[in-house]
Every structure is written in structure tokens, then in C-alpha cells.
Amino acid sequence: MKKVLLTAMAILTVVSASAFGMYGRGDSWIDFLTHGNQFRARMDQLGFVLGNGTIKGTVGFRANTINLGNWGNILSDTGSGTSLNSTLSAGIGYTSDVFGIGVGYNFTYINKDIQVHTPVLTMNFLNNNLRLSIPIQVAVTDKQNGTKINNFKYTGVAFDNIQLRYYTGIDAFNAIRFYVYYRNNTVDTGSFKGVSESLGFQLRLYFLNTPVGNVTINPFVRIEYHTALKGSAAKNYTAEYSYKNNDFIDNNSKQSDIYDVSPYEFSIKPILGITANSDVVSLYVEPSLGYTLTGYQKKGIESTSTHKLSWGAYAELYVRPVQDLEWYFEMDVNNSGNSYTTPVSVPVYFETTTGITWYLPSFN
């Protein structure tokens, strides 16, 4: 039972819903090399990891969007054609105590005109204490509305996101996470060449991992910054973004010709992670308070800025009646204005990552 509780603690201190893969086109590959054999069936993902102590592989699906219409939706046919509504992922990895490396691939069907290919490289060092994940989204098309267009080409490249994690082993300053986001979308119609580009960073600093009574606390600070390098979009790190939203500026124009201050978003959020374990149940909760500043200033126009102060209360619940079977549940309460179930509602929602994990024996 001690081994089970230690495993649960390790999972909980990762502190990220997206850390559980099968495996999507974002940062969820960061934990592929540390995941043991398992079958996972959750509302937004279906797949498995299988292997021995050295070689492992994975195949699975992950929903492309988080909404009620996409829960468990892999394929659909409306009569006009079949759509793949989940990202298909597959990968293989090598692991050892000193070094691990894995490669993965994700295919995301946007529509009949454009699809996204995401190769992934992930590496672990120092007995898995140093982890790196590099997913690169690529989308290229010469079609619009199902028809090939002469002299038309759209190219999108995005990193969502490159991630570095380091677990120090020191309770006073126990973990660092650094994320890099980037997007470059270009279009060439023959008479017009346009570009849209954005860049972002996120830093998380974890410290004072300390037992307090029957719980363990692990505070951390999350600092995030995003800006538009070309165009008006300061975030939206997907390869297909500008194709769907037609957000471009002329390739020969400078951003400084349009903006004195490019569109940006800055946020800082102190968060308190609290973990409690019993023989069957593990609970992780995360109260937080965050400040966000967004703004821009166009040439000759007064600057525009918005300040927001928001609170949050996030929770993860793990129920494991036996060592090999786990039920996982998420809930989030916040006033940040986001809701994944209804456009306007009380800001309480149940995450689509709710579901089961069956831990399988290793192939020795």
C-alpha cells in the first residue's frame, strides 16, 4: 500500500490535467516516458501504453475540443463525408534510469481542406527528473471549400507547447516548469502574401513542498506572457488558426507600422497545491488567485488595456479500490469567464478528463 500511495503522490504533484495523454498534439507527451502500462478510457481520450522496462509504445485518440458535443466522439458522418473528430496519436519510446527518448506522431483532422500533422520528440534525463517535450504542428493546404485553388497556399507552423520540467529533489524549491509557445501562419494568393505570428512563455516555480498535519502543501507561482509579433492575435497557438480566422497582415508591413504596442497578455497567479491520501482515495485541490493584464495600442489611437482579478478552486479525485484500477474525476470553480459546457452559466464545470485507468503488468 505504501508503494500505491507514493505513486499517487507522484501523479498528484505533477499538477496538470493535460499531463495525462493518449496523447494529443500539445504538451501531454511530457509524461509518456514515465507512464507504466495502462489502458485509459476517459471522456476525451481512449488509448493505451504497453511495453517492458526498456521499450514502450502507445496508440490512442484524444478529443480535439472540450465541449459536450465532442465527448467520446472519434468519428462522425453527416452524409456529406466522414470526419475524424479526435486526434490520432501513436508513439514509441526507449527508457532507462539515465536517459530516455521517445518519438510520437499526431494527426488532427480539421476539415476536408486542412489537416494538422504533429511530430513529437520527448526526452528524459537524470532518472526522469529532467524532462523535455517538443511537439511541432504543421499544416499545409492549397484548398478552400473542398476545391484546389490556383496560386493559393497556406502554411502553418505552431509549438503548443515546448515544455521543460526539472524536479530538483529539494523540498524548498522542488520543481520548475518552462513553456514556450510559437505560431507562424502564412498565406500566398498570388496577389497577396500575408503573415500572422505570435509568441508566448510560461514559467511555474514550485516551492516549500511540506507536510502539514494530514495533508501535504506545495505552493507555486505561474507567470505567463503572450504577444503578437505580426497581426492581432496574441495567443491561439495552432497551425490552422489563421486559415480558419483569416487573421493576416501584409508580409511586407512591419508590426510597428500598425501598433505602437502590439497586442499582449500578461498574467501572474499564486496557487496553493494541497494533497491528501487515504488507502483508497487521493485528493488534490488547488485554490488560486490570479491577475491578468491585456492590451494594445494602435498608431495614433489611445492605448487599450483590461485588468482582471480572478479566483479559482480546482480539484482532482483519484479513487483506487485496488492497486490496478483507478477512477479519476476533475472539477473546477472559477470566475475567469470560461465555461466548457455552456456559453454563459454559473462557473462550475466537470472536466472531460473524467474516466478510468486500468494499470497493466509490464511485459518482462
pLDDT in tens, 201-229: 999 999 999 999 999 999 999 999 999 99
pLDDT tens-digit profile of 150-187? Answer: 999 999 999 988 999 999 999 999 999 999 999 999 99
CA distance 159 to 331: 28
- The reported pTM is 0.85
Q: Sorting pLDDT into bands at 50, 70 and 90, what band is 256? A: very high
Q: What is the DSSP string of 193-238?
A: EEEEEEEEEEEEEE---EEETTEEEEEEEEEEEEEEEESS-S----
Q: Where are the domains of the chain?
A: 2-359
| Pick among 3.40.1130, 3.40.50, 2.60.40, 2.40.160: CATH of 2-359 | 2.40.160
CA distance 131 to 101: 10
Mean pLDDT of 75-102: 83
